[in-house]
């Protein structure tokens, strides 16, 4: 992960976290596993990247957090998408679409 460009990575990570939370509220490990599942294992988000991102987005108001019980009856901190987060997801999705289209164009050009 270290070798990947952070700016791109950060935007991508935010997008993936928001996307994974669309399915419903989740704890950190759940988000991590969900991203791995969504990207078919391409992204394995480590806690060192995941938690800073979750906390930052919490502070931004895109997601909100609360303590709940896990599937194994453990206390866990859950995150859920907020209205602002949903809007952010739409904006980020559009932006990502533009970027990936542009890069694809660039790569296809001879």
Per CB under 8 A, residues contacting another protein are 27-29, 46-49, 51-53, 55-56, 58-61, 70, 72, 74-77, 84
Q: How far is the CB of 25 from another protein (least distance, A)?
A: 15
Of 60 and 90, which CB lies nearer to another protein in the complex structure? 60
Sheet holding 75-81, edge to edge: 26-27, 75-81, 63-69
Give CA–CA dist 14/33, Å, rounded: 15
Q: How far is the CB of 51 from another protein (least distance, A)?
A: 5
Q: How far is the CB of 29 from another protein (least distance, A)?
A: 5
Of 29 and 104, which CB lies nearer to another protein in the complex structure? 29
CB contact at 8 A, 36 and 26: no
Phi-psi sector, 10: left (phi>0), alpha (psi -120 to 50), beta: alpha
């Amino acid at each position: 992960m270290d070798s990947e460009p952070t700016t791109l990575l950060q935007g991508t990570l935010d997008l993936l976290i928001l996307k994974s939370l669309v399915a419903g509220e989740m704890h950190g490990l759940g988000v991590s596993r969900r991203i791995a599942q969504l990207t078919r294992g391409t992204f394995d988000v480590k806690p060192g990247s995941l938690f800073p991102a979750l906390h930052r987005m919490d502070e931004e108001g895109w997601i909100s957090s609360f303590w709940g019980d896990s599937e194994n009856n453990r206390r866990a901190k859950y995150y859920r998408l907020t209205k602002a987060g949903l809007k952010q997801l739409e904006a980020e999705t559009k932006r990502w679409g533009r970027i990936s289209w542009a890069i694809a164009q660039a790569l296809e050009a001879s």
